Structure 1
């Protein structure tokens, strides 16, 4: 069967570097008990390496022509299952009802389409306010280099942003290996990188995950501004400065200068402040009612 040509509509670029493929496999730390999910297997170059090292490989491919090639290559193997469709919209629980061997994969290893990296990460990890209820053991993805750097960025660096906080709250993140554009056919316009994520429950956790989510969004809205200016609509300026001082955070700090732990502490302290304010308002109102009875 002739090899299909890469399609722009699916952002297809075939990885052809053995070095990069081996880096991905090594990063996945595979064992024969692992049930792997591969998103966008393409021509099956990575699939071929995953199969002998794992208990099963569940592949999801949107391109019908590529599905035919994958079936021809691996369809007779008991440990391989292919689903044709869009990973973002497929209901895996329903699709896998009749295939218990492939249910609840514990690892994801994939070269994903770069134009939907964000939605894929959200489906795999969930959100700060709504984490994946069945967290994976390990996620290894080949993504755009700039995105990988943002995912794994350290506080105080230019790359550290809202994406860094959101992902790192849900998983330990590590940039494993840089992959040049020439490692693909056709070469994309950007370089790539392998990123490894280990889902976890961050401790100490946010008292109000939804508030942390909103705080991070507002805090990084304009990175050049000081944090107190970005968040002035959420907390009055004087009180916010007090909270930053209590947490030993520079009142002139910008969003990227706070560590993940400081973001969580800040969110918790603001939540506590709001609770204190509500209690104070209630008590003041109650005292007023007692001291001025209805005539």
Structure 2
């Protein structure tokens, strides 16, 4: 059991499974040229392995007490940079250029992230439909809640397919690496987890108006039990939407989760033909 006591307010759960750690490191496929960003290094159990396999590791930790312990443990490593702060607030593109060159432009992310801020972290790492990350990472390996992992890689029509699925799959490919049971952590969380690997890529089917697509997805999934034409009636006339869906060979009675990314893009592009009152 790790000597540091996890803090509930930071949603800390220490991973103590060697098998899970090995799966995470293997999924990252690290080389001596890689510069890795780690979010929430905790006690440093994963950090040590990253430092051994990659050129450098930049760790961002919000807990000041843990930062002191990490500095004591790993502060003598030349390829280790520790930043104390909230990953959602730190501007790495401004901070890292002021550090030694081997910490510039990290190309991979490996992290056991706090589950309560998974969505914002994904947005930080990938960007959004309207504003993709300006310097995409080569690979992002994350330990997340299993429910989130299922949503990230879900197919259209699945009960797990939702707005998060569309937003992430528009920007990246998602691979399921392995399950991680709750007992692999101390203390055990109330849910099981999974390791996923996101591979950012060029957008396969770009939207003509990404901001419009982003809004359509948000509103379209606002009530999953309703048909899409009912959810979107505030943005586009129902009859017109029905005609567009038929033209695109999409069942007019479809719900939001029935449309894949390409169909969402096609719908958004079709709506360029008429004024649509979109609210961000």
Coarse TM-score class (shorter-chain normalised):
over 0.9
Question: Residue deviations 1:8-62, cap 9 Å, x none?
Answer: 1111100000111111111111111110000000001101111111110001111
Q: Structure 2 regions of 5+ residues with no counterpart?
A: none
Query: Conserved in 2, the CA contact under 8 Å of 1:169 and 1:201?
Result: no
Query: Conserved in 2, the CA contact under 8 Å of 1:226 and 1:254?
Result: yes
Match of 2:161 in 1: 160
Query: Conserved in 2, the CA contact under 8 Å of 1:17 and 1:183?
Result: yes
1:142 pairs with 2:143: yes
With the length of structure 2 as denominator, give the TM-score of the two structures.
0.95
Q: Structure 1 regions of 5+ residues with no counterpart?
A: 276-295
With the length of structure 1 as denominator, give the TM-score of the two structures.
0.90
Match of 1:76 in 2: 76
Kindly name which structure, 1 or 2, has the bigger radius of gyration based on alpha carbons: 1
1:98-177 equivalence runs, <5 A: 98-177=99-178
1:199 pairs with 2:174: no
Deviation at residue 63 of structure 1 after TM alignment: 1.1
Match of 1:91 in 2: 91
- Name the CA distance, whole Å, in 2 between partners of 1:67 and 1:256: 42
Moved more, 226-235 or 158-167: 226-235
What is the alpha-carbon root mean square deviation over aligned residues? Answer: 1.3
Match of 2:15 in 1: 15
Match of 2:46 in 1: 46
Structure 1 ranges of 4+ moved more than 6 A: none
Question: Per the alignment, in what secondary structure is the counterpart of residue 211 of structure 1?
Answer: helix
- Name the CA distance, whole Å, in 2 between partners of 1:119 and 1:185: 24
Match of 1:226 in 2: 227
Query: Conserved in 2, the CA contact under 8 Å of 1:60 and 1:85?
Result: yes
Match of 2:55 in 1: 55
- Name the CA distance, whole Å, in 1 between partners of 2:99 and 2:196: 32
